[in-house]
Amino acid sequence: MSKIGVIGGSGLYEIKGLTLKGKKTISTPFGKPSENYQLGEINGTDLIFLPRHGKHHDIPPHMINYRANIWGFKKLGVDRILSISAVGCIKKGLKPGNIVVLDQVLDMTRNRKSTFYDGKDGVVHIDFTEPYCAELQKILVKAGRGLPSPVKKGGTYVAVEGPRLESASEIKSFALLGGDVVGMTGMPEASLARELEICYAGLSVVANYAAGISKRKLTVTEVMEAMKEATESIKTLLKKAFSLIPQERGCHCKDALKEARI
Ligand code: HPA
């Protein structure tokens, strides 16, 4: 039976409507995950929820123990993760309130532990040509049809270290490189999940125009407000997506370690 994990970002510290069946404290060889994992059910589908910043939002993006979070999901038997995050938009055509089903990544992070394979268990190079699970992407796009918040198919996520926001020139350069949205938590989550052969999809909620795109000063208040407004749409989208996810995985994520070891 497929087990689904959901990672909540800024503004999403719990899923209302989730029938809570229990909580699990997990220890990992990499330290402690951000929070207890909430085991629950929505419309008959089991899911496991984790707020990556902690339930009181006291873990900043650069201090999140990404390895422990993903390892914990694996330990609980999760084989698919839907990851929700707040982002700033870089590309013309996107605006606050939009939801993007991500399909590519530009990783600009510098100081994060970004692999489970640091030599002790052999040398592993996973394929990351398509960073997000193709099967889950299709399901999320389908589940997003007709929602009040428009759901966009495909987008390149620029992952930055944070916690500061970007300069206008940084955003200009990310645009030239093909970035569509910018956020602080999407990496190394996606590649760590791939290293454990877990399907991973990214749903980004556009909370603001990125630096220099709007002439206004960026504030955390506007980010949190936008996230609050998008919560209902995200919940509806997730519920629909759960009903469309097949039991058996039909993608390549489950074989990520095949022919990946030296
Ligand atoms: N930049 C980086 N991370 C973010 C932003 C942003 O503009 N908005 C929400 N998360």
68-77 per-position pLDDT tens digit? 999 999 999 9
* Atom number of ligand 1 nearest to Cα 209: 7
| Beta-bridge mates of residue 177 | none
Cβ 222 vs Cβ 102: under 8 Å? no
Non-local (6+) Cβ contacts of 182 within 8 A are 87, 88, 90, 157, 158, 160, 166, 171, 174, 210
Token pair recorded at residue 39: 């085991």
Between residues 129 and 45, the one the model is more confident about: 129
Neighbours of 153 (CB within 10 A): 14
Q: Which residue has the tokens 């123990």?
A: 65
Element (H, E) at 193: helix 186-195
87 C-beta closer than 6 A to ligand 1: yes
| pTM of the full structure | 0.95
90, 187, 223, 225, best to mutate for ligand 1 pocket (most atoms within 8 Å of CB): 223
Average pLDDT value for residue range 204-231: 88
Task: Please tell me the distance between residue 162's alpha carbon and the centre of ligand 1 in angstroms.
Answer: 9
With 80 as the cut, is the pLDDT of residue 18 above it?
Answer: no
165 C-beta closer than 6 A to ligand 1: yes
Element (H, E) at 242: helix 220-244
pLDDT at 135: 98
Cβ 158 vs Cβ 181: under 8 Å? yes
Angle between helical axes of 186-195 and 66-75 (0-180°, round to 10): 40
Task: Please tell me the distance between residue 169's alpha carbon and the centre of ligand 1 in angstroms.
Answer: 15
> Exposed, middle or buried by CB within 10 Å (0-12, 13-18, 19+), for 55?
middle
Between residues 121 and 135, the one the model is more confident about: 135
Task: Please tell me the distance between residue 84's alpha carbon and the centre of ligand 1 in angstroms.
Answer: 13
- Boundaries of every domain in the chain: 3-255
| Beta-bridge mates of residue 183 | 159
Range of lowest pLDDT (13-22, 90-99, 169-178): 13-22
Domain spanning 3-255: which superfamily? Nucleoside phosphorylase domain (3.40.50.1580)
Task: Please tell me the distance between residue 57's alpha carbon and the centre of ligand 1 in angstroms.
Answer: 15
Chain segment 19-69, per-residue pLDDT in tens: 888 999 999 999 999 999 999 988 778 899 999 999 898 999 999 999 999
Average pLDDT value for residue range 205-218: 90
Task: Please tell me the distance between residue 173's alpha carbon and the centre of ligand 1 in angstroms.
Answer: 15
181 C-beta closer than 6 A to ligand 1: no
